[in-house]
Amino acid sequence: MVTIVSMIKDKKFHLIIFGCQMNYSDAERLATVLKKIGYRETKQEAEADLIAIVACSVKQAAVDRIHSKIHNWQLTKDKVNGEAREGGLSQTKPLITILSGCVLDSDRKKLAHQFDLFIDIKKLENLAHDLASIHPHQKIALNDFFDISPSYGSSYRAYVPIMTGCNKFCSYCAVPYTRGRETSRPSAHIINEVRELLNKGYKEIVLLGQNVNSYGLDKKGKEISFPELLIKIDSLSKHFWLKFLTSHPYDMSEELIVSMAKCKNLNNYLHLPVQCGSDKILKKMNRHYTIADYKKLIKKIKKTFPNITLSTDIIVGFCGETTKDFAATKKLVKDIGYNLMYISQYSSRIGTLAAKMYKDDVPKKIKKQRWQTMNKQLTKQSFAFNKKLVGQTQEVLIDTVNKNATIFLNTGKLSNYLPVHIKTKQALKIGKFYQVKITEALDWGVKAKII
């Protein structure tokens, strides 16, 4: 679909993004559209004529942050309309606000009327048409959403969506409602996007989907599988970093493990969310595997990739989680030895199966305590893992360079996402690979020197 929208001049937009990499990726396409209609991006909220929030209903904490933002903008709008109010942004020009992202219907009902425009993430193909309602003059043509070339936030690391939506319906999760069912992008489009990025000199490609293992299944035999896609992308260049997010343990096939082993650019890193260590809770979460299944899968993965870095997602305080269930999660986390975990305190999401069927009965205080216990355990494991790296030579991709007196403080990441701190006399180059020797372990990273 091609829609005509207006062209505006000398206006700035500011993006606020909550949630996961998928939202960051959507925001990169939204930014392109706003630029096409004439806006320039500003990192300063106070300078903006248009502010767009790419929101996340997955956890309540992110929704709460939107409410506090809206309050501030309303004060600004009131000031512009001549109503004397304390607070708000310092500007005195009209402000347009847009809401988009992973927004549950219940949150949309509470929030959307407080924005000038709501853009449904499931109907992003209507984006140009929706924007026309706020700018009805000059004209420009826009493509379908996934065909819009993103304004990548980085010049060396790119997140490339391969599919959107989810069919899994984990009982706690808002995603199947906010993003709808699984829809795969044509593999030819994905491969072209990655090829162009590599030609431009991008060093790291992260393929994105809520459950990448299901890639292509919605096309009923007319599209290649995820393992096939991975191999094709891997072969596009001799040397780059390749990762994918996220795999569901239930769908992580033997075929995928075999294909991963054939890839020469795929990083020795896998994010495999387990959510909790109790079979009783996993069943209530509708995850379709037991802890024995998960451990068997990890054993297979470690047989093929003995030094793989494993990360996971954990929810603490899910409905009915007892001290014994939580102890089972702690034991699992120790047994697997994750060195990276995204730990969330359960928050009930209206409309999900868990909200309908189970009582959110773990007190907030206990959820917080369990989160802290888990975080402490993670710090211990992470430090132990990092200590084993001391003395190793590894490749690092540089993200920031700061000067302190006569020394440059460079930070980057190892291919398994671990932060690396390097002091040098000459500044390193952001977005370039360097070989380093790891000299010291930290709780959440390592120190290294260039070799």
Which residues of the shown chain bind ligand SF4 in the complex (CB under 6 A)? 166, 168-170, 173, 175-176, 210-211, 248
- Residues engaged in binding ligand SAM (CB under 6 A): 20, 58-59, 172-173, 175, 210-211, 246, 248, 273, 275, 313, 315, 344, 346-347, 349
How far apart are alpha carbons 263 and 242 in whole angstroms? 9
233, containing H or E segment: helix 226-234
Length of the chain, please? 451
Q: Which of 113, 91, 96, 5 is nearest to 50 (CA)?
A: 96
- Give the shortest CB-258-to-ligand SAM separation in angstroms: 22
**Residue 343 touches which of ligand SAM, ligand SF4, none (Cβ within 5-8 Å per kind):** none
Q: Which does 176 bind (CB under 5 to 8 A by kind): ligand SF4, ligand SAM, none?
A: ligand SF4
344 binds, among ligand SF4, ligand SAM, none (CB under 5 to 8 A by kind): ligand SAM
Cα–Cα distances in angstroms (integers) from residue 388 to residues 333, 340, 445, in the given order: 18, 15, 12
Nearer to ligand SAM, 59 or 157 (CB): 59
| Partner from ligand SF4, ligand SAM, none contacting 295, C-beta within 5 to 8 A by type | none
Give me 64's structure tokens.
């709460």
Nearest CB to ligand SAM, comparing residues 360 and 395: 360
Classify each residue of 353-370 as buried b or exposed e, where b means 16 or more C-beta atoms within 10 Å of its C-beta. bbbeebebebeeebbeeb
CA distance 118 to 133: 11
**389: helix, strand or coil:** helix
Cβ at position 317, least distance to ligand SAM in Å: 8
Do 129 and 135 touch, CB atoms closer than 8 A?
no
Residue 367 contact partner, candidates ligand SF4, ligand SAM, none, CB within 5 to 8 A by sort of partner: none
In the complex, the smallest distance separating the C-beta of residue 246 from ligand SF4, rounded to whole angstroms, is 7
CA distance 126 to 128: 6
- Of 210 and 381, CB closest to ligand SAM: 210
Q: Which does 243 bind (CB under 5 to 8 A by kind): ligand SF4, ligand SAM, none?
A: none
H or E stretch including 15?
Answer: strand 11-17
Decide which of ligand SF4, ligand SAM, none touches 169; Cβ closer than 5 to 8 Å per partner kind: ligand SF4
Give the 3-state secondary structure of residue 91. coil
Q: Which lies closer to ligand SAM via its Cβ, residue 157 or residue 287?
A: 287
Q: Which two tokens stand for residue 299?
A: 């054993």
Would you tell me how many other CB atoms lie within 10 Å of the CB of residue 268?
13
- To ligand SAM, the closest distance from the beta carbon of 56 in angstroms equals 8
Q: How far is the CB of 318 from ligand SAM (least distance, A)?
A: 8
- In the complex, least distance from residue 144 CB atom to ligand SAM, rounded to whole angstroms: 24
The CA radius of gyration of the chain, in Å to the nearest whole number, is 23
Instruction: Please report how close the Cβ of residue 60 comes to ligand SAM at its closest, in angstroms.
Output: 8
